[in-house]
Amino acid sequence: MQLSDMKIIITGAGGGMGAHFATRIVEAGGQVAACDLNEEGLKALADKCAKGPGNVHIQRCDVGDEAAIGAFVDWAYGAMGGLNGLVNNAGLLRDGLLVKQDRNTGEVVKMSKADWQLVIDVNLTGATFMVRDVVAKMVSEGQKPGVIVNMSSIARHGNRGQSNYVSAKAALAANTVTWSREFSRFGIRVGAIAPGMIETPMTRGMNQKARDALVANVPVGRVGEPEDIWRAVQFVIECDYFNGRTIDVDGGLNM
């Protein structure tokens, strides 16, 4: 598939990697339906892309809300005059140990259900329903070929303090295989990208000590940039022989 032919949904496009992906596709002449809860970020994206050869269409959407997902997919199809792709990028963090004990008081603290559920609702359930509704729309409209790009993480292999995030990202990587098999009959490919430490608003909010320790373990010696991940996303979109696999883009980092 060519970038100029894309009519693609990008979730979490109000900043960070999602905004970068959207900009690149618009620069190539494609159309993007961008969603986020960050309406100011979406407006900034629209302004940035206003003079591009392609078009970006913006709409607020909470991917943790099943009804909102369905409504957004229908809107995106109408706004772009079609739909042939999805970059499943929206996500959030609520890091914390599943069980921890205060060294001074001995108090035992457990991860709250709220912190567990919010990450699962957005990073896994919302991402899954977005795939479901996008594929259902493409199938009902007879659109083929199509491509889905899921954003997993190298944390899917396991990472201290991220039980909720790891669970979601591991499931997305596994379901990339599942969905590639289920959707092949419809002419829809599914791939996943697993970023390592990437410079985004989310990672800039990390504890500095933890961030420095993580960067020190990256063999290439730096934090990744959204452009590094974009190159992998572009490959999945454009390579019609790529399907059902996850690409790690992490500078060689092992968690």
Q: What is the pLDDT of residues 42-51, one digit of tens each?
A: 999 999 999 9
- 206 band by pLDDT with thresholds 50, 70 and 90: confident
pLDDT at 207 over 90: no
pLDDT at 205 over 80: no
In total, the chain counts a number of residues equal to 255
Whole-number pLDDT of residue 163: 96
Q: Is 36 helix (H, G, I), strand (E, B) or coil?
A: strand
Q: What is the pLDDT of residues 20-62, one digit of tens each?
A: 999 999 999 999 999 999 999 999 999 999 999 999 999 999 9
Whole-number pLDDT of residue 170: 98
pLDDT at 201 over 90: no
Whole-number pLDDT of residue 214: 80
pLDDT at 200 over 90: no
3-248 belongs to CATH 3.20.20.10: no
pLDDT at 203 over 80: no
Contacts of 99 (CB under 8 A, 6+ apart): 108, 109, 110, 111
Pairing of strands 108-110, 85-88: unpaired
Question: CA angle at residue 126 from 146 to 198, to 5 degrees?
Answer: 80
Q: Where along the chain do its domains lie? A: 3-248
Which of 21, 72, 129, 165 is an active site residue?
165
**Backbone CA torsion sign across 102, 105, 107, 111:** negative
Residue with tokens 């997993």: 152
- 164 band by pLDDT with thresholds 50, 70 and 90: very high
What's the rounded mean pLDDT across residues 65-76? 98
Whole-number pLDDT of residue 144: 95
What pTM value is reported for the model? 0.94
Whole-number pLDDT of residue 215: 83
Q: Is 165 a catalytic residue?
A: yes
Pairing of strands 108-110, 99-101: antiparallel
Tokens of 133: 């509704």
Q: Considering the chain, what is the average pLDDT of its residues?
A: 95
Whole-number pLDDT of residue 86: 98
